[in-house]
Chains A and B, each alone.
Chain A
Amino acid sequence: MITTTRMNTRTNNKCPIDIVTGFLGSGKTTLLGNILREGEFEGASVIINEYGKAGLDHRLIRRVKERTVLLAGGCVCCNRREDLIAELKNMLNEHQSGAISLDRVVIETTGLADPAPILFSILTHPLLVHHYYIETVAVCLDAVNGEMHLENNPESVKQIAAADRVIITKTDISTPENLERLRQRIVQINPAAHIQEAVHGHVSVPILTPVTGLLASRRATNQPPRDEKSDGSAAGHATNIRSMAIGFDEPLDWLAFGIWLSMLLQKHGEKVFRVKGIVDVGEDGPIVLDGVQHIIHPPRHLEDWKDYETRQSQIVFIMRDIEPRRIMDSLTAFQHLIGARPEIQEINLEPFA
């Protein structure tokens, strides 16, 4: 059933992992329960970190207690989630001994969980990285309390930054104005996130599928950037999040770009919440780049550009405490190595101002 470009480019046979996260009470479990009743996800195994009230009956559910191992000298994103590693290994063993079929794994995290350590645990594990890949990170945000979470909880902002899809839940008990304001905030934090709304825990489009295209949400809603000031209740600590989208006038030299990005992440990885983009390297298809803090997914080479509107590189950066201008200055100085001149396509300075 998984006929995505991601699988097509690989001759190997990895199992997709979808991560569903979001604050307590944001409707993760309800949403998950509904999704899992759909045919496509019948073969999915589910790992959850907490007991929810909503029923996820008659299916393979593993409950694991969160066990995080702090690695010496590592930053917050580079923690290992031993619980998940152990459970994913178990599943692999059971699959290989024929006890279970392993089509897909869905991980539901606790409300406060930062998705970065989950990605880090899987993508840097010498065994797991060969058997699993992360397909989608979906974040649930409650339409009623979402804004409050974003303003008061840096964790919530990090979740949005790490998301491929943001699902606004409880839209049925919110007002259209609130909903609109929340959508705009999400787009300003993460211009690459795909935003969907859920009514009574149901979404019209399957959410656990890979997102194609960048900056889709802004284009779809066609809204001008927000210019009015809010009521001033925004918390100070969240105002240093910046997001930007950069395009390039020519195909990039992937080798040189890799040098630049690895150098940037070595120095500033903790402040770079997300790097997501499609890169034209002058071949038939683009390279899909996706990174959360220090962790870069194995870059994927697509066969063609059919999922995208134009054949052009586009990279979204979400950062804390780094001025977008400094990234532009750096890419401009590196342009002779990288082979292309950067140009700003979108910039969001003060998502909470």
Chain B
Amino acid sequence: MCILCGELVMHVHWTDQKTHDREYSNTVVVGELQRDRMRDRLRRVRYVNQILSFYGLNFKDWNGSRYLLSDRKGRQEVVGDLGALWPEAQKMSGNRIDPLDPELLAYLGGHDHHHDHDHAHEHPHE
């Protein structure tokens, strides 16, 4: 259970499962992996935004524990992981999200031409 919001976390999404040797260690030093974890979260947010920008949606980290999904009309939803993100994004986009959609793929292909450029401007405060 999350002691701050009282929400039960019943299931860890597979994309949040441990995948590195160091995470299997028996002793956990407080704060030790926090930097890595935050860096990964921010990287995930950046990647997801490259995709969601095609649908006019925005994704951001919220307190290092949740994510905030929003659209241009100001609608906002809190999501816990990628398993919750995609269904919510489907709703906001009117069920348009499909990684096999040629239009999205063309957008990503073109987008990535300016990958470094975009990257520099995406998180100026980072």
Q: Which residues of A contact B (CB under 8 A)?
A: 9-11, 124, 126, 129, 254-256, 258-260, 262-264, 266-268, 281, 283-285, 287, 291, 296-299, 301, 303, 322, 326-327, 329-330, 332-334, 336-337
Contacts and interface: CB of A to CB of B under 8 A. Distances in A.
Contacts of A336: 108, 112, 115
B21 A299 contact: no
B11 interface: yes
Given A263-B97, A330-B99, A332-B105, 12 more contacts: A10-B24, A124-B11, A258-B14, A266-B90, A266-B97, A267-B86, A267-B97, A268-B100, A291-B14, A297-B14, A333-B104, A337-B112
Contacts of B56: none
Interface of B: 10-11, 13-15, 17-21, 24-26, 40, 43-44, 47-48, 50-51, 82-83, 86-87, 90, 97-100, 102, 104-106, 108-109, 112, 115
27 contacts: A9-B24, A11-B26, A258-B14, A259-B44, A259-B47, A262-B15, A262-B82, A262-B83, A263-B82, A263-B99, A264-B100, A266-B90, A266-B97, A267-B99, A267-B100, A287-B19, A291-B14, A296-B14, A298-B14, A299-B19, A301-B20, A301-B21, A303-B21, A329-B100, A333-B104, A333-B109, A337-B108
B28 to A, nearest CB: 12
B19 A326 contact: no
A98 B11 CA distance: 28
A256 B82 CA distance: 11
Contacts, number: 96
A130 B62 CA distance: 28
Contacts of A299: 14, 17, 19
A14 to B, nearest CB: 13
A290 to B, nearest CB: 10
Contacts of B108: 333-334, 336-337
